[in-house]
């Protein structure tokens, strides 16, 4: 990384992030403003979830980070170096899986990886075969490694793309919707793999439109909507931003709802045997006692933790749907 100026190596532009963007903006030729003034900081060692509904600008951002397309304005630094200017120095340290990995259909999965590895000038040809077999094993493609890639299912292609990103140890992995096309078992395997990689010290940046997936695997997240960043930070903080709800399970929902309102609980909603409301600013033991004393048969009483989905709804005031 010889050509970096001292200030770049000091992280002056990067705030210590493995990925840092400042007012990053992309307007496509047709006029579509796909990414609008994005300021993102991905801490070293994090599993960072880049979350947003379809069309919110995730892939466009990732393409700019990887130097595949030029930003219209703003800057992106990856591993402390400006992109796309330092792509040649940065990309050997980054494993990437981007929407629809390019494969040679007439080659087997294994031969695709051998060929991909051979195109990497930093890859040692003597250990190529071993690394390819290890990568296939890591993504569960050992048995299917000899099959032609054109006969792969979507999930198998996705696994092969992931294997390509894993051929070398990397400082950063950038995975665009890595579980796209995978079945629930495959999704679990990828989550386990991501956790393993993170525990080896690799920073993982992954995009998803699935909230629960991000919640299960990520330490940090950023939420996008319509090209704009809504929020970013530790996942626990984002979920805590949306307050939990008081949930009472009872065969007497009407009585429970009336009593909860009397106890000062706001926004009471009864749905079957579930009665929910805002968490009141008083001792919940008293609220519970009041229900029981009034003869309400309480089967369950507690505060349900807010999910990222709740946080998203609280942030946008709308559901997690595609913008028109």
Residues that bind ligand ATP (CB under 6 A): 28, 30, 32, 34, 52, 54-60, 209
- Please count the residues of this chain forming the interface with Mg ion, following the rule CB under 5 A: 2
Q: In the bound complex, what is the minimum distance in angstroms from residue 16's beta carbon to ligand ATP?
A: 26
Assess whether the previous peptide bond of 260 is cis (omega < 30° from 0): no
Site for Mg ion in 21-60 (CB under 5 A): 58-59
Q: In the bound complex, what is the minimum distance in angstroms from residue 54's beta carbon to Mg ion?
A: 7
Residues 300-319 as x/- pattern, contact with Mg ion by CB under 5 A:
--------------------
At a CB cut-off of 8 Å and minimum separation 6, what does 289 contact? Answer: none
Tokens of 54: 């379809």
CA dihedral 41, 138, 125, 170 (to 10 degrees): 10
Binding partner of residue 56 among ligand ATP, Mg ion, none, CB under 5 to 8 Å per kind? ligand ATP
Binding partner of residue 54 among ligand ATP, Mg ion, none, CB under 5 to 8 Å per kind? ligand ATP
Binding partner of residue 110 among ligand ATP, Mg ion, none, CB under 5 to 8 Å per kind? none
Binding partner of residue 2 among Mg ion, ligand ATP, none, CB under 5 to 8 Å per kind? none
| 224-239 residues labelled b (16+ CB within 10 A) or e (exposed) | bbbbebbebeebeebb
Query: How far is residue 154's CA from residue 182's CA, in Å, rounded to a whole number?
Result: 8
CB-CB neighbours of 45 under 10 Å: 15
Using the minimum distance from each CB to ligand ATP, give the nearer residue, 112 or 180: 180
Q: In the bound complex, what is the minimum distance in angstroms from residue 99's beta carbon to Mg ion?
A: 5
Tokens of 72: 């219209």
Q: In the bound complex, what is the minimum distance in angstroms from residue 205's beta carbon to ligand ATP?
A: 13
SS3 17: strand
Tokens of 96: 């990437």
Residues that bind Mg ion (CB under 5 A): 58-59
């Amino acid at each position: 990384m010889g050509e970096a100026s001292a200030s770049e190596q000091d992280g002056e532009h990067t705030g210590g992030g493995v990925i840092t963007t400042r007012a990053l903006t992309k307007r496509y030729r047709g006029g579509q403003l796909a990414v609008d003034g994005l300021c993102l900081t991905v801490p070293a060692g994090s599993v960072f979830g880049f979350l947003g509904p379809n069309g919110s600008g995730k892939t466009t951002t990732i393409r700019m980070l990887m130097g595949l397309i030029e930003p219209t304005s703003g800057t992106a630094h990856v591993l402390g170096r400006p992109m796309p200017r330092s792509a040649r120095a940065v990309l050997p340290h980054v494993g990437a899986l981007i929407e629809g990995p390019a494969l040679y259909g007439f080659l087997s999965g294994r031969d695709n990886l051998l060929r991909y590895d051979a195109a990497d000038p930093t890859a040692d040809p003597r250990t190529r075969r071993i690394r390819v077999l290890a990568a296939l094993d890591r993504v569960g493609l050992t048995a299917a490694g000899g099959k032609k890639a054109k006969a792969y299912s979507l999930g198998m292609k996705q696994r092969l793309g992931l294997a390509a990103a894993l051929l070398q140890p990397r400082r950063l992995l950038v995975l665009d919707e890595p579980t796209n096309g995978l079945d629930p078992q495959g999704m679990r395997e990828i989550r386990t793999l991501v956790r393993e990689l993170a525990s080896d010290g690799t920073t993982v940046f992954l995009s998803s439109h699935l909230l629960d997936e991000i919640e299960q695997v990520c330490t940090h997240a950023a939420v996008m909507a319509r090209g704009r960043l809504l929020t970013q930070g530790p996942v626990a903080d984002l979920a805590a931003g949306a307050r939990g709800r008081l949930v009472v399970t009872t065969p007497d929902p009407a009585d429970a709802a009336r009593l909860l309102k009397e106890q000062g609980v706001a926004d009471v909603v009864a749905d079957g045997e579930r009665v929910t409301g805002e968490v009141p600013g008083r001792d919940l033991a008293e609220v519970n006692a009041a229900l029981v004393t009034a003869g309400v048969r309480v089967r369950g009483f507690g505060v349900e933790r807010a999910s990222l989905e709740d946080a998203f709804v609280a942030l946008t005031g709308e559901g997690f749907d595609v913008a028109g």
